[in-house]
Amino acid sequence: MNYLIVLQLLINDFSNKNKNDTLAKSNNILAQQSLWLKLEQSGEIPPPMWDGASAFDEKRHLFYIFGGLNGSYPVDFPHPVFSVLDVNTLVWRNLVAPDTPTPRAEALLWVDRRTGNIFLTGGHGPFRRGLDLTFNTTSMYNVATSTWHSIPQTLDQQYSANRSTEAKVVGKKAYAIFGTSSTLPAFVNRPRGLQTGVIEFDLMQGGWKNVTMKGVIPTPRGHHHLGYSRDKHALYTYGGYTKDPLGNSTFGERNYLGDLQEFDLTTGYWTELIPATNVTPGKRDNAKIIHVDKKALILTGGSSWTGQNYNDVWRFDFKTKLWSRVIVAAQIDPLTNKQITPPIPIGAYYFTKDDENGNHEFWMWGGSSKIKNSWFKFSNCLMDSKDCTSKIYYLSGRYD
């Protein structure tokens, strides 16, 4: 039996209600009435995988996944997967065909909002082979004809496309920030082992091009995720994996970042959002940004240089510059009435969206922890005092 797993949370922000409250003093937010739910998924369910690419068609309610790894070293081979989930029916469909591009991990995958067509850029093969197994191509999947097509690129565009990270769709364009660009040993210390810029893609305007950056440009990084705020028209990223600035370490503390960065898409300026205290999520890569609006940013998960993986949730308040840890009160499996361990979203396929009530949703599938091929969905409300409703299947909340 295959299941979807749902986490429902109702969260009250106590930080502004009672300054003498213990939670307020510790910069925590209490999550009440939380639970994990198991829901059945059906159809041609993909095998367990991690570090693949995913994209959501919010207009048609379709969730696409491509590639990924199906094991641990030395059998961490890219898996030939191209599948779509109908979010309304929770039914999977296998889209692999003879013209499907070569399997890979950590590619950029996104949906053109105008056409519903799928775009695939970059990605890489397995590490620890002594070879540079990266991709610098861009392809398009035509949903009307169910066929793949190669997108012509200049040499500069091929260099831009040679990266492993994720794409974030904003309006008619897709954006990517930094990313890894090699699978050679100790690649992070090699020239061009990390991409250093911001790029944008619009097929109608010729494909990939560089975006002019201003301000203090952040440290280049990989294994990071992006969030977008419509209110601020800005992209955000937290932490990531980078070159050791003082030596040649590849998995030490100095290889991990713990900064929150904002890139203003209107002005092109970078701004580091420095917290008011030392209470932060800390140095980690692979933290996923759940939601950003004019008030706050929410993130979850990640891993550290010690090998520790996280399933915690954090909230950053733009006004106070304070990080608050979201404390989950309980996790209950309603089928067994027993507490279960929340999933660790490392290398998971995921998407975020808003529902018809203005609640925010976070869906997660697969990953490199014990998630296997189950669905984990997360539902919460992060507010000051207003009520909100939450449903199963998603992360749901209002942040106004």
* Partners of residue 66 on adjacent β-strands: 53, 82
Residue 392 within any structural domain of the chain: no
pLDDT at 386: 27
* Total domains, the chain: 1
* pLDDT over threshold 50, residue 13: no
User: What pLDDT, in 10s, does the model give residues 25-47?
Assistant: 456 655 444 445 555 788 998 88
Q: Is residue 257 part of a domain?
A: yes
Query: b/e for 1-16, b at 16 or more Cβ within 10 A?
Result: eebbbbbbbbbbbbbe
Parallel, antiparallel, or unpaired for β 322-328 and 28-40?
Answer: parallel
C-beta of residue 384 within 8 angstroms of C-beta of residue 3? no
- In a domain, residue 394? The reply is no
pLDDT tens, position by position, 137-179: 999 999 999 999 999 999 999 999 999 999 999 999 999 999 9
Asked whether residue 99 is assigned to any structural domain, the reply reads: yes
Q: From start to end of 95-188, where are the E strands?
A: 108-111, 118-121, 138-142, 147-150, 168-170, 173-177
pLDDT at 290: 85
Expressed as residue numbers, the domain containing 53 is: 3-383
Poorest-pLDDT segment among 87-101, 129-143, 344-358, 375-389: 375-389
Q: Which two tokens stand for residue 244?
A: 């050791």
Q: What is the pLDDT of residue 307?
A: 85
Please give the mean pLDDT across all residues of the chain. 82
**Mean pLDDT over residues 327-349, rounded?**
67
Residue 391 counted as domain residue: no
Overall average pLDDT of the 257-267 stretch: 98
pLDDT at residue number 332:
62
Task: Tell me the three state secondary structure of residue 366.
Answer: coil
20 band by pLDDT with thresholds 50, 70 and 90: very low
For residue 125, is it within any domain?
yes
Check if the beta carbon of residue 347 is closer than 8 Å to that of residue 367.
Answer: yes
Q: Could you tell me the pLDDT band of residue 336, with boundaries at 50, 70 and 90?
A: confident
397: in domain:
no
Q: Please say whether the beta carbons of 113 and 201 come within 8 A.
A: no
| 3-state class (DSSP) for residue 89 | coil
Q: What is the pLDDT of residue 150?
A: 98
What is the rounded distance in angstroms from the CA atom of residue 13 to the CA atom of residue 136? Answer: 45
Is the pLDDT at 311 greater than 60? The verdict is yes
What distance, in Å, lies between the first and last C-alpha atoms of the chain?
39
Mean local confidence (pLDDT), 282-307: 92
The pLDDT, as a whole number, for residue 182 is 94
| CB-based contact 11:32 (threshold 8 Å) | yes
- Residue 338 inside a domain? The answer is yes
* Residue 277 identity (one-letter amino acid): T
> Any idea what the CATH number is for the domain that residue 260 is in?
2.120.10.80
